[in-house]
Amino acid sequence: MSFRQNRSSATPEIPPSMNTSSTEKTSITGVILAGGQARRMDGQDKGLIPLSGKAMIEYVIEAIEPQVKSIIINANRNLSTYMHYGLPVIPDNFSGYNGPLAGMASCLRVIETEFMLTVPCDSPFVPNDLAKKLYTQLHKQQADISVAHDGKRMQPVFVLLKTSLLDSMLDFLNRHERKIDKWFAQHNTTTTDFSDKPQTFININTPEDISHIEAELIKA
């Protein structure tokens, strides 16, 4: 199934976050990417994995809510469970699992702010200045996309991008392209240094990671 741009007038109501006073907050919609297959986790829905008494996604919601105007969850299963968080839940607009760009494009179709910030559902240590740093670097470099960098490599799902890039993303996906870094390369993309906060990118890839992350949460 191909993607088509369709910014529906019946956009789902998106609850505002508590703090949207600054320009960057009111211009950003946060998207939590929870649509993957999690093969290395035996197919468990990573966003709903319990971690120290609450689901993984709850840490992410709490971290980004003060940083953005509103939040959308991108998920392809357990939709009713995710809806319990009182946020819009948007599945990919096609069958199968086609990577993070598919989730991003699906959410872009309903976003009305100037920017979209994405984060994965299984990274509980999202810093409280993620949006601000990405936004500041994007404007400083007059870029279209600002991607987090851990000092060694780009972290492509921690990204702030202009929602005007929807057509480009749809065209890329309709050509059966999936590699997110290849799409980034087609645009004015800058990286934002988070090498001082390596814990930002700790996530769950194996069952053994759960105990490790719980230990890190205790330290935090």
| pLDDT tens-place values along the chain, 220 residues long | 444 444 333 333 333 433 334 678 999 999 999 976 555 556 678 899 998 889 999 999 999 999 999 999 999 999 999 999 999 999 998 666 678 999 999 999 999 999 999 999 999 999 999 999 999 999 999 999 999 999 999 999 999 999 999 999 999 999 989 999 999 999 999 999 999 999 999 888 777 788 778 877 777 6
Q: What are phi and psi of 8, to 5 degrees?
A: -60, 140
pLDDT value of residue 59:
95
For tokens 């998920």, name the residue. 75
What is the rounded CA–CA span in Å between residue 27 and residue 114?
Answer: 5
The token duo for 200 is 């930002």
* pTM of the predicted structure, to 2 decimals: 0.86
Strand partners, 31: 72, 118
- Please give the pLDDT value at position 19: 39
Contact 200, 216 (CB under 8 A): no
C-alpha 144/C-alpha 160 separation (Å) is 8
Among 10, 29, 34, 13, which residue's Cα sits nearest to residue 68? 29
User: What kind of architecture, by CATH, is found in domain 23-219?
Assistant: Alpha-Beta Complex (3.90)
